[in-house]
Structure 1
């Protein structure tokens, strides 16, 4: 299932959440002389792809940390930190999915 999620996020390369947020913020600002509606930055699909890749990366890191903890190569704190980061990423992805589905359902209810 992780591989299927990774295929969804294959729209762009893996980056950290900070750079995603920075790219998203910079893409929403318009430069002087830019026409409204013109593409001036990162696309919505690439931001979602980056977030999906980041989530998959965090989950894989947590899995590796768990195996290292079982073999004694990592201490408990490192394992807990990795698992909590993966859990937070997964909860964020689920909340985002729920919002997208909700918005889609609202759009389908609109009258033409």
Structure 2
């Protein structure tokens, strides 16, 4: 179920009476602080590390399934599924790497 917006802590509770500017600025500061804490999560390097580990595990799984297929311990469908999944992970990792390199080159070309 989707949490209501009020549950995020982004909005100060509404009151019927008029408040002074100091109260409003405190409420805005509280909302900004809550938004900053709500954004905190895994960093970019953690996400890249997880993606790389998943890709490596997928390729290892494809190799393991291939060896099991050669030994007769796995059927053809299992081997093909594992190899196709490994191939897809490798293509995704390669495309992602190419985008990162391209973005890095674009940044280095910017004038300061």
Q: Do the two structures share a fold, i.e. TM-score over 0.5? A: yes
Q: Could you tell me how far 1:71 is from its partner in structure 2?
A: 0.5
Q: Which residue of 1 aligns with 2:3?
A: none
Residue 66 of structure 1 aligns to a residue whose secondary structure is: helix
Q: Verify: 1:47 aligned to 2:47, yes or no.
A: yes
What's the TM-score once normalised by structure 2's chain length?
Answer: 0.68
Q: Please give the alpha-carbon distance, in whole angstroms, between the structure 2 residues aligned to 1:81 and 1:61.
A: 10
Unaligned 5+ segments in structure 2 are 1-7, 11-30
Q: 1:76 to 1:31 in 2, by over 3 A?
A: farther
Q: Which residue of 2 aligns with 1:62?
A: 62
Unaligned 5+ segments in structure 1 are 1-29
Once the two structures are superposed, the pairs formed by residues 1-112 of structure 1 within 5 Å of their partners are 32=10, 33-35=31-33, 40-112=40-112
What's the TM-score once normalised by structure 1's chain length?
Answer: 0.68
Number of aligned residue pairs: give it: 83
